[in-house]
Amino acid sequence: MTTLRFLGLRLLGMAGTLLVISVLTYAVFYLLPTDPAMLSCGKPCTPARLAEASAFMGYDKPWWAQYLDFLAGIVTGRHFGSGLAAVDCAAPCFGFSFRLNTPVTELILDRAPVTFSIAAGAAVLWLIIGVSAGVAAAVKRGTAVDRSAMLLSTVGVSAPSYLVGLLGILLFGFTLDMVPVGGYVPFTESPVDWLWHLVLPWTVLALLSAAIYARLTRGQMIEVLGEDYIRTARAKGLRERRVIGRHALRNVLIPVITVFGLDLGSLLGGAVITERVFSMQGLGALLIDAVNTVDLPVIVGVTLFSALLVIVANFAVDLVYSALDPRVSR
Amino acid sequence: MLLSVQDLTISFEAGGDLSEATRGVAFELRRGRVLALVGESGSGKSVTAMAILGLLPGTAAVRGSITLEGEQLLGAAPDRLRELRGGRIGTVFQEPMAAFNPVFTIGDQIGEAIRTHRRLTSAAVRERVGDLLGTVGLDDPERIARSYPHQLSGGQLQRSMIAMAISCDPVLLIADEPTTALDVTAQAGILDLLRELRGRIDTAILLITHDMGVVADLADDVVVLENGRVVECAPVARLFAEPAHEYTKTLLDAVPTFGATRPAPAAGAGILSIRDLVVDYSSRVRAVGGVSLEIAAGEVLGLVGESGSGKSTIGRVLAGLTPVTSGAALVAGTSPVTSTSPVTSTSPVAGISPVTGTSPAAGIDIARLARHPWRNARALRRARSGIGIVFQDPASSLNPRRTVADSIAEPLVLHRDLTVAQQRVRVGELLDAVQLPAAMGRRYPHEMSGGQRQRVAIARALALNPPLLIADEPTSALDVSVQARILALFRSLQDDFGFACLFISHDLAVVEQLAHRVAVMHRGLIVEQGSTEQVLHNPQHPYTQRLLAAIPVADPQRQADRRAARVPADH
Amino acid sequence: MRRTAVALAATLILTGCGANDPKAAEGGDSGGKGGKLTILSASTDINFDPAKSQNLAITTLGLVLRRLTTWDIQAGKEATVVPDLATDTGTSSDGGKTWTYTLKDGLFYPDGSPITTADVKYGLERSFAAELSGGLGYHKGLLVGGGDYKGPYTGGELASIETPDAKTIVFKLNAPYGDWPWIASMPAFAPVPKAKDDPKTYTQNPVASGPYQVASYQQGTSVVLKRNPKWDAATDTVRAAGPDEVVFQLGQDATVAAQRLIADSGDDKFAFGAGFVPPAQLVQIESNASAKQRLVTSDAGALAYLAINTQRGPLKDVKVRQALQYAVDKKAFQVASGGAVGGDIATTLITPGIAGRQEYDLYPADPSGDAEKAKQLLTEAGQSKLSLVLLSENDPQSLAQAQAIQQGIQRAGITVTIKPADENTVIEQTTGDKPDYDLAISSWQPDFPSANGNIQPLFGTSEIGGGGYNISRYSVPEVDTLIGQALGETDAAKAQALWAQADKRILQDAPVVPLIYTKNSFLHGSNVKDFFVAAFPAYPNYLKVTLSN
């Protein structure tokens, strides 16, 4: 089996998964008691006006017909209405938000950098903090270092992120006035401000997730340190730092990276609570808004995009996994 | 004197209690000699080796003296000890598959050992790795260096491990059970290599083993350890000829030796019939390539072969655990045993009357049923009730959360409608049959020794009085003295119960003691089968011959003769 | 009409319970011109397209777009309709079926071109296009031919809007409509120059007629308004246009926004929150003297009421409905709504702050209700074992309110089962054609401050089902006639009298139990001046806010 064939099969599988998710999303939202056209009906909403809005947005068709329109739109783009006021949604069109008057594709591309900035920075931080803490706790097992790290991680695992975010804002934003209390500045606008605005959200997210990773790493590390090849490494005369940092860590990272990839994948789809607390308009905020206003095209679009990210993360995890662990062959 | 260990006492602290692993151990080792530390598990031999390396865990307290080339190792600075490890002392561990880090290549790991102690360019390191791999008799050093551990065989890995151990020209080589996990032919190669290296690079070898055959093959001097104390210390010839201590005698007696084979029983009805069995694990891996076997009632068939030969796959097929590609495995249906029924014998087991046997031709085809394990669940369960199974590791086959009595009663509950009282009586009978006191029934597996656990596993396998027993390496995980007792038990149970048995083992000496007939498997095929006498004492197939020649016997003189006569191995 | 999302509420100014900043109400301590005002908003976008907007005349849209008429909202005064682009609030003829407006002089767009009645006509026409639906569309059903008109992009012009010259515009209505001056204050009556109309981008880039124009629009993040140099204060009586710049920070978490305003540091001194202060922060503010000074609670405004489904079984009997009037514990409902800052006890349908309101109480009792009286009425009606279903939204606040109602009514021996559902489902149930409830809690704030807005949408027979808000499903021909009369009356004083008469007449039939007039609380920074919240609408008047220098 060639690598190309393998990739092809995987991509087909991914596309299939997305297709199933999109069908489900459509079906589920069609079952909702609320008519999405109500959103654009205006006041007073007479039945005639509702029917008009419904027809314009394409909600008057049965759900499978809407779904087929949606699929066709990805390839060919879509048009709503006619004449001067017609709405264009260029291919690849993943729907059009009539509430925000913007194609969903554009919305996602617009919001994704915010979420990606939050997620990527936080993920790097929590991986570093979590793995270091876990390694330290495992190596110093049973000592004060271990106990305090695990106590902190218990706190971290059980703390609600909204609360920790608020406390962070109150302490570092208001009381100490060290960082901005919210908002997002694009990297392209000012890298310094970008970083400055993200420090707090990163830290809050990272500390909470690091707790889980510290526990995971500690458990794995303790297990790996009991392996024969660690004894072999020591018998070779390697320094302890190299035994831990190379021989043990590489094996510990294999399961950690798996979990990490999936966590990152789902976080990239929207850091809902963090975005909300820090007033950052990422994908999570977009989705929550869309759900609250029954903005069906945005709901479907963001859900699909999140699913895509998780699937891609899965794929990436598999690639990294086979790079880290030679025993895994394709 | 290269290595001198004096009055070595090692104790471990656990929960406030101190337990001594060794007490007053003393021995000396000269350059160019091989000293064997012999003992069963818990004797303190491995702990002693770790003490020399300075790799005991922090909970250990060490007293006494260990000197290497006159330098005191106990209490030496950690940095100095690290220089010695891998530099002056090379180490070879058992289980080479586990002893190499799975995520780095062999070349990488050996190179790392070299760079730790020598300042060399990476090209020089690479060259040295290649030389070393060549030195230990590996054919394609470049390929081996590029390979990850899982891509190599056990023998190749252990050779690589030795290459790593000698990479910095050590004066002392510690070999801790270096051949235990290996097949006999691979073991012979490794022992030859160690012997050759001792002469070639002028190193001393501290050999740690439980296998008297290995001792006889390689050692110059022997130190026998029992419960952390040295009970005897002697040159190898004298030890085998005139063992002074009782324990040494017990050890030597327990070693299975070739001798009288069991005569075949009177031909009984067929119990198991395997026909043209083929098992593929994937489109590329064929584990069993067309095997046919017959076992008659009351007969023990020894299935021998090295790892990867496919012998365990056959066991798994009969247990209904592995789907079959083609062929049939017919088991006599409702059951068993004709003449030697335990009911008519003096067996303590009563209350379950066997039905007169049927021909396996009319029996159940497990191979076919196992293709749809869910659809055929009931039929499979019925078929399995006629088969008892004993695996290699009783620790993992017994549920740690159930008492021994519950574990034994499990098949009774599943397969027979007995009242609770009847079950309890039956469990008592079974414990008695495997020579365990009835009180043991209340214990949990972790409260028992390995031998006791294996007795429980056998009792459970016999609970339903099956006409057929499958035993897959039932004694490989046990110490020799325990193994001897389990084998004796097994033999007497087989005499009493009269079950037919497929006995799967890599150990030809064990098979010789038990089996009426022997089948030899090699690369998924049966290369030779016949009566035990015929196959083991007058082998016709070259592979069988090679296999037999590779087994070290527990007699230094005879072993030297055998070595000289041995057909060169094909690796 | 506006259905207030959260039932918080207000006091009647005339009774002296106003919680507005007393200094601001007196008109003292005003700020001056200049500065940058920041408005913290929870929503993630602002829709500036007048055809699609449902904005109040005194909030965001009012800063950028002027209409023919607008609202004069001042603390402690009833809302009045005043001329904006037009010289007066409209002259009617043909018995109220024709309305004529003339534009003021000196009205220009930022590019210097003059504002014409053709632009107003075009703005209205485009609001009929399906592509631009979603706004306030009261005019659509009133204008002759409006029912079939499809907008200017496909349907040509609408003949019932005439522009004899660039200064004059004439509307022809299907029927007399006395509240047309209020209708002319809706967003759709803002001028849209046809040449600049790009329906795709107009929502972010409208042509300004007010004191500000959109300088930058970052969807989800911020909107910045800067001064429109061509706006002439002399033509505008309602807009103070104090700050040089107005910045909307979008998508702000309500709690964080409130904390920022409590902290009152840096730029936040020049900021106010567009959303209600969350209950937890209201408590926090109680113990913070500085923040307490900057908290502004509205006068009693929107009506929260218990709707009784008059078309269901025993509830068809007016005696049973009257029993409910006494059984309900309004006091408990007020407590569940946040106590005194949550709202004042209500007895009428027309809310405080609306011109022409008459105060009365048809079912006098202690605010906690009169269970004995209720039982007595039930006995008279021959109902002993009544069991009712109460539809409620499923957020904690709504459920607490529903429980307060449940406990009150059960004192009269009536079993009440609460049926919780999410907001959208509740709307679907109550305004749809398949009602399955006996009681429902609702609140109502009209889209324009006329008594009409309190009565017609809630009690007209035409508003039952089909998206209408007559959730009591109350239908009495006599009342419909009265409403028709009031709608057609062009004399404001006469109309107000008719509405007050309808108010009382309806409550005689007891289709709803008025619960409280809700109040909303807002927080502002220490340098924000002229910040007040009237009874109607119970939102800050953005147009008047200034900053201290």
For residues C483-487, average pLDDT = 92
- Does residue A216 sit in the same domain as residue A252? yes
Mutation target among A162, A281, A296 for the C interface, most CBs of C within 10 A: A281
Q: Is residue A318 part of a domain?
A: yes
Give the integer Cα–Cα distance in Å for C379 and C382: 5
pLDDT band at C391 (very low <50, low <70, confident <90, very high): very high
Only one residue has tokens 């009357």, namely B353
CATH superfamily of C303-518: Dipeptide-binding Protein; Domain 3 (3.10.105.10)
Q: Chain B closest CA to A235's CA: distance in Å? A: 5
pLDDT at position B340 is 33
DSSP H or E run through B224: strand B221-226
- Does residue A130 sit in the same domain as residue A59? no
Which of C199, C221, C256 minimises the CB distance to A181? C256
Q: Phi then psi for B541, rounded to 5 degrees? A: -80, 140
Question: Which residues does chain A have within 8 Å of residue B84's beta carbon, measured at their own beta carbons?
Answer: 237
Contact C131 A81 (CB under 8 A): yes
Question: Which residues does chain A have within 8 Å of residue B55's beta carbon, measured at their own beta carbons?
Answer: 231, 234-235
Only one residue has tokens 């939204």, namely C393
Give the integer Cα–Cα distance in Å for A65 and A30: 12
Give the integer Cα–Cα distance in Å for C501 and C483: 10
Q: Is the pLDDT of residue C388 over 70?
A: yes
Contact C470, C460 (CB under 8 A): yes
Size of interface A-C (CB pairs under 8 A): 144
Q: Phi then psi for B44, rounded to 5 degrees? A: 100, 10
Q: Is residue A280 part of a domain?
A: yes
pLDDT at position B333 is 53
pLDDT band at A83 (very low <50, low <70, confident <90, very high): low
Q: Are strands B500-505 and B468-472 parallel, antiparallel or unpaired?
A: parallel
Interfacial A residues in 218-257 facing B (CB < 8 Å): 227-229, 231-239, 247, 250-251, 254
Burial class from Cβ neighbours inside 10 Å (0-12, 13-18, 19+) for residue C88 reads middle
Do chains C and A touch, with touching meaning 3 or more CB–CB pairs less than 8 Å apart?
yes
Using the Cβ of A82 and the Cβ atoms of chain C, whether some distance falls under 8 Å is answered with: yes
Q: Count of CB atoms within 10 A of residue B377's CB?
A: 12
Question: Which residues does chain C have within 8 Å of residue A84's beta carbon, measured at their own beta carbons?
Answer: 153, 197, 199
pLDDT at position B95 is 84
Which of A33, A279, A286 minimises the CB distance to C424? A33
User: Which residues constitute the domain of residue A76?
Assistant: 35-93
Contact B85 A237 (CB under 8 A): yes
Q: Which two tokens stand for residue A209?
A: 């997730």
- The answer for residues whose C-beta is within 8 angstroms of residue C187's C-beta and 6 or more apart is C50, C51, C53, C54, C55, C61, C65, C67, C135, C136
- Does residue A256 sit in the same domain as residue A111? yes
pLDDT at position C8 is 30
For residues C290-309, average pLDDT = 91
Contact B85 A236 (CB under 8 A): yes
Contact A236 B150 (CB under 8 A): no
Q: Chain A closest CA to B224's CA: distance in Å? A: 25
Burial class from Cβ neighbours inside 10 Å (0-12, 13-18, 19+) for residue C417 reads exposed
Q: Which of B246, B186, B194, B201 has the alpha carbon at shortest distance from B215?
A: B194
Give the integer Cα–Cα distance in Å for B188 and B170: 23
Length of chain C, please?
549
Contact A34 C1 (CB under 8 A): no
Tell me the CB-side half-sphere exposure of residue B537, using CA atoms within 13 A: 13
> What value does the mean pLDDT of chain A take?
86
- Does residue A165 sit in the same domain as residue A48? no
Q: What percent of chain A has pLDDT over 70?
A: 97
Q: Are strands C36-40 and C271-273 parallel, antiparallel or unpaired?
A: parallel
- Does residue A150 sit in the same domain as residue A79? no
Q: Which two tokens stand for residue C334?
A: 């007020």
Q: Which chains touch B (3 or more CB pairs under 8 A)?
A: A
Hey, what amino acid is at B197?
Answer: L
Using the Cβ of B147 and the Cβ atoms of chain A, whether some distance falls under 8 Å is answered with: no
Q: Which of C91, C94, C97 has the alpha carbon at shortest distance from C174?
A: C97
Q: Phi then psi for C464, rounded to 5 degrees? A: -85, 125
Q: Chain C closest CA to A190's CA: distance in Å? A: 16
pLDDT at position C214 is 96
Contact C1 A182 (CB under 8 A): no
Please tell me which residue of chain A has the smallest CA distance to B98.
A228
Give the integer Cα–Cα distance in Å for C238 and C215: 22
Q: Is residue A46 part of a domain?
A: yes
DSSP H or E run through A30: helix A3-31
Q: Is residue A213 part of a domain?
A: yes
Q: Which chains touch C (3 or more CB pairs under 8 A)?
A: A
Only one residue has tokens 């809690």, namely C441
Q: Is residue A310 part of a domain?
A: yes
pLDDT at position A314 is 87
The DSSP secondary-structure symbol of C133 reads -
Q: Which two tokens stand for residue A241?
A: 């730092």
Q: Which ranges of chain B have pLDDT less than 70?
A: 258-261, 264-267, 333-363, 395, 415, 567-571
Hey, what amino acid is at B213?
Answer: G
- Does residue A78 sit in the same domain as residue A130? no
- Does residue A258 sit in the same domain as residue A179? yes
Question: Which residues does chain A have within 8 Å of residue C140's beta carbon, measured at their own beta carbons?
Answer: 49
Using the Cβ of A101 and the Cβ atoms of chain C, whether some distance falls under 8 Å is answered with: yes
Q: Which two tokens stand for residue A172?
A: 């570092």
pLDDT digits (tens, 9 = 90+) for A277-298: 888 888 988 888 888 778 888 9
pLDDT at position C26 is 39
Q: Is the pLDDT of residue C367 over 50?
A: yes
pLDDT at position B267 is 66
> What value does the mean pLDDT of chain C take?
89
- Does residue A50 sit in the same domain as residue A123? no
Q: What percent of chain C has pLDDT over 70?
A: 95
Q: Count of CB atoms within 10 A of residue A288's CB?
A: 17
Range with the poorest average pLDDT among A260-269, B385-394, C117-126, C133-142: B385-394
Using the Cβ of A39 and the Cβ atoms of chain C, whether some distance falls under 8 Å is answered with: yes
pLDDT at position B260 is 64
> Treating both helix axes as pointing N-terminal to C-terminal, what angle do C492-508 and C477-488 enclose, rounded to 10 degrees?
170
- Does residue A67 sit in the same domain as residue A135? no
Q: Residue B7 — left, alpha, or beta (φ > 0 → left; ψ -120 to 50 → alpha)?
A: left
Give the integer Cα–Cα distance in Å for A312 and B102: 27
Interfacial A residues in 280-309 facing C (CB < 8 Å): 280-281, 285-286, 289, 294
pLDDT at position C349 is 94
pLDDT band at C29 (very low <50, low <70, confident <90, very high): low
Using the Cβ of A40 and the Cβ atoms of chain C, whether some distance falls under 8 Å is answered with: yes
Q: Chain A closest CA to B10's CA: distance in Å? A: 19
pTM for the full model?
A: 0.76
User: C342-379: buried (b, 16+ CB within 10 Å) or exposed (e) per residue?
Assistant: bbbebbbbbbbbbbbbeeeeebebeeebbbebbbebbe
Give the integer Cα–Cα distance in Å for B470 and B489: 16
HEC profile of C147-161: CCCCCHHHHCCCCCE
Give strand pairing partners of C169: C101
- Does residue A67 sit in the same domain as residue A164? no
Question: Which residues does chain C have within 8 Å of residue A83's beta carbon, measured at their own beta carbons?
Answer: 153-154
Which of C136, C253, C467 minimises the CB distance to A47? C467
Mutation target among B55, B101, B169 for the A interface, most CBs of A within 10 A: B101
- Each domain of chain C, given as residue ranges in start order, spans 303-518
pLDDT at position B264 is 67
Q: What is the CATH number of the domain that holds A183?
A: 1.10.3720.10
- Does residue A78 sit in the same domain as residue A177? no
Q: Which of C202, C230, C228 has the alpha carbon at shortest distance from C46?
A: C202
- Does residue A149 sit in the same domain as residue A293? yes
Using the Cβ of A327 and the Cβ atoms of chain B, whether some distance falls under 8 Å is answered with: yes
Q: Is residue A232 part of a domain?
A: yes
Domain count, chain A: 2
Please tell me which residue of chain C has the smallest CA distance to A110.
C219
More confident residue, A85 or A99: A99
pLDDT digits (tens, 9 = 90+) for C398-409: 899 999 999 999
| Final residue belonging to a domain, choices A67, A93, A119 | A93
Q: Is residue A98 part of a domain?
A: no
Give the integer Cα–Cα distance in Å for C421 and C419: 7
Tell me the CB-side half-sphere exposure of residue C409, using CA atoms within 13 A: 28
Give the integer Cα–Cα distance in Å for B26 and B193: 28
Which of A229, A234, A324 minimises the CB distance to B85? A234
CA angle B261, B263, B267 (to 5 degrees): 145
